[in-house]
């Protein structure tokens, strides 16, 4: 296989965002190369793991609107590949009735006519077993929400990309990017050229952008991915129709706590804290902060009585956060044929199909299908540094 080549587009990073971008480009018959530094599949970035939540329940209309089409794109991929990637479970959103976040989510669901059920202290336990709804908390269920089989989804979209003639070169780290009307991309094994380049490098985004003279206000944090044992096997199982859940804030913390029904590890429920300690993406195993686990233990002891409040398994993952926790989807301010998607802030997996479509459109110089003003880098103003 050639270690040289001319492509219409090179996508750097085969996480969920780069994989869907490459797939969209190949669907448009663009000769596309997808480069990945590690051997695929790997667990060093942000897209690995068996499961992710998919939902329309957001504080902002623009996310809920994007998810309307995104569900259809997920279903299209399932049909095309003949693979099940989504399991409807519903998403139970809980939070203080008085909190802005809880009210914004409930109102956005209502305003956008998203199918939902509002629960209260009186009827909560007959709908949701084994969960204590805290005093003063409200509860709303986003009915169409559910679980995405993440590892399976990555493998599927990468496979469809290759079936469409796309080229994946993994274990090939990009070491340099030379902007120009034809962009030159150097890797540990070769040199490639393309009319456009899409950077979807997750926690390493700024390491690549520096070659183009740009730095974004991104913070990489390590997330402890915790699994908790059911005291009675099956009580929080996806087969028992236990929902995904999202606590907007609680007495333990202002940060989200979220969980998915037991699935990948029998008898174990994945519950994580939506924050973590800053880390270098290549040094994350040295980050040993476990203060998040203490918070999770206190919450589980208080509100999830059917779980042992001690993690049975702790894996890790990375978030790349922006200051406002909204994504970065934009063209380079100087080199418009260099496009990037970054800063997905711990909630970007479900948007993969629509992010792929948008980054494909930007790389082809087309007007994007959605208003990208919430995601443009100009919102950062002084925080975006030129590395020149």
Ligand X SMILES: O=C(O)[C@@H]1CCCC=N1
Sign of torsion over alpha carbons 341, 347, 349, 352: negative
Is 357 a binding residue for ligand X by CB under 6 A? The answer is no
The residue with its CB nearest to ligand FAD is: 15
Is 156 a binding residue for ligand FAD by CB under 6 A? The answer is no
Is 275 a binding residue for ligand X by CB under 6 A? The answer is no
Tokens of 301: 């002891």
Q: Which is nearer to ligand FAD, 102 or 319 (CB)?
A: 319
Separation of alpha carbons 166 and 288, rounded Å = 39
Per-residue mark of binding to ligand X, 46-75 (x: CB under 6 A)? -------x-x--------------------
Q: Which of 347, 356, 360, 372 binds ligand X (CB under 6 A)?
A: 347
Q: Which does 173 bind (CB under 5 to 8 A by kind): ligand X, ligand FAD, none?
A: ligand FAD
Q: Among the residues of 210-365, which ranges form H helices?
A: 291-303, 352-363
Q: Which is nearer to ligand X, 55 or 195 (CB)?
A: 55
Give the residue among 368, 375, 276 at the shortest CA–CA distance from 324.
Answer: 375
Give the residue among 330, 252, 259, 326 at the shortest CA–CA distance from 291.
Answer: 252
Is 169 a binding residue for ligand FAD by CB under 6 A? The answer is no
Give the residue among 159, 127, 61, 85 at the shortest CA–CA distance from 371.
Answer: 61
Q: Which of 168, 185, 208, 238 binds ligand FAD (CB under 6 A)?
A: 208
Separation of alpha carbons 162 and 320, rounded Å = 28
Q: Which helix (DSSP H) or strand (DSSP E) does residue 64 occupy?
A: helix 61-81
Separation of alpha carbons 256 and 248, rounded Å = 5
Q: Which does 87 bind (CB under 5 to 8 A by kind): ligand X, ligand FAD, none?
A: none
Count of residues binding ligand X (CB under 6 A)? 8
Q: Which does 37 bind (CB under 5 to 8 A by kind): ligand X, ligand FAD, none?
A: ligand FAD
Residues 6+ apart with CB under 8 A from 194: 6, 7, 8, 9, 10, 33, 182, 183, 185
Question: What is the secondary structure of 178-246 as a DSSP string?
Answer: E-SSSEEEEESS-EEEEEEEEE--GGGHHHHHGGGTEE---EEEEEEEEEEEESSTTTTBGGGTPPEEE
Q: Which does 246 bind (CB under 5 to 8 A by kind): ligand X, ligand FAD, none?
A: ligand X
User: Which region among 112-120, 133-141, 195-203, 378-386 touches ligand FAD (by CB under 6 A)?
Assistant: 195-203
Residue 262 DSSP code: B
Q: How many residues does the chain have?
A: 388
Q: How far is the CB of 349 from ligand FAD (least distance, A)?
A: 3
Q: Which does 63 bind (CB under 5 to 8 A by kind): ligand X, ligand FAD, none?
A: none
Is 106 a binding residue for ligand X by CB under 6 A? The answer is no
Q: Can you give the binding site for ligand X, defined by CB under 6 A?
A: 53, 55, 246, 256, 258, 274, 346-347
Interface residues toward ligand FAD, by CB under 6 A: 12-18, 35-38, 45-47, 52-53, 173-174, 200-204, 208, 223, 225, 272, 317-319, 344, 346-350
């Amino acid at each position: 296989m050639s270690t040289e080549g001319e492509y219409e587009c090179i996508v750097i990073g085969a996480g969920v965002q780069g994989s869907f971008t490459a797939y969209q480009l190949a669907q448009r018959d663009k000769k596309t190369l997808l480069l990945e530094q590690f051997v695929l599949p790997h667990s060093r970035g942000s897209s690995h793991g068996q499961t992710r939540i998919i939902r329309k329940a957001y504080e902002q209309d623009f996310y809920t609107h994007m998810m309307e089409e995104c569900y259809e794109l997920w279903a299209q991929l399932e049909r095309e590949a003949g693979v099940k990637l989504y399991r409807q479970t519903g998403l139970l959103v809980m939070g203080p009735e008085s909190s802005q976040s809880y009210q914004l989510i409930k109102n956005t669901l209502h305003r956008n006519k998203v199918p939902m059920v509002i629960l209260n202290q009186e009827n909560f336990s007959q709908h949701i077993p084994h969960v204590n709804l805290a005093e003063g908390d409200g509860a709303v269920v986003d009915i169409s929400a559910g679980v995405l089989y993440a590892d399976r989804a990555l493998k599927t979209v990468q496979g469809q990309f290759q079936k469409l003639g796309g080229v994946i070169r993994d274990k090939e780290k990009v070491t340099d990017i030379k902007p120009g009307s034809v962009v030159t991309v150097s890797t540990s094994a070769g040199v490639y050229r393309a009319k456009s380049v899409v950077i979807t490098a997750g926690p390493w985004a700024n390491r690549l952008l520096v070659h183009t003279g740009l730095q974004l206000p991104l913070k990489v944090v390590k997330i402890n991915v915790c699994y908790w044992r059911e005291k009675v096997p099956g009580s929080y199982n996806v087969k028992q129709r236990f929902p995904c859940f999202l606590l907007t804030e609680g007495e333990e913390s202002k940060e989200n706590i979220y969980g998915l029904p037991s699935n990948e590890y029998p008898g174990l429920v994945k519950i994580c804290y939506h924050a973590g300690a800053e880390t270098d993406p290549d040094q994350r195993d040295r980050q040993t902060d476990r203060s998040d686990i203490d918070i999770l233990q206190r919450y589980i002891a208080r509100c999830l009585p059917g779980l042992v409040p001690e993690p049975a398994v702790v894996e890790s993952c990375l978030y790349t956060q922006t200051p406002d926790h909204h994504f970065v989807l934009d063209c380079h301010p100087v080199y418009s044929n260099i496009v990037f998607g970054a800063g997905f802030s711990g909630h970007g997996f479900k948007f993969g199909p629509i992010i792929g479509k948008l980054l494909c459109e930007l790389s082809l110089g087309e007007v994007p299908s959605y208003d990208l003003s919430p995601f443009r880098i100009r919102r950062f103003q002084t925080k975006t540094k030129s590395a020149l």
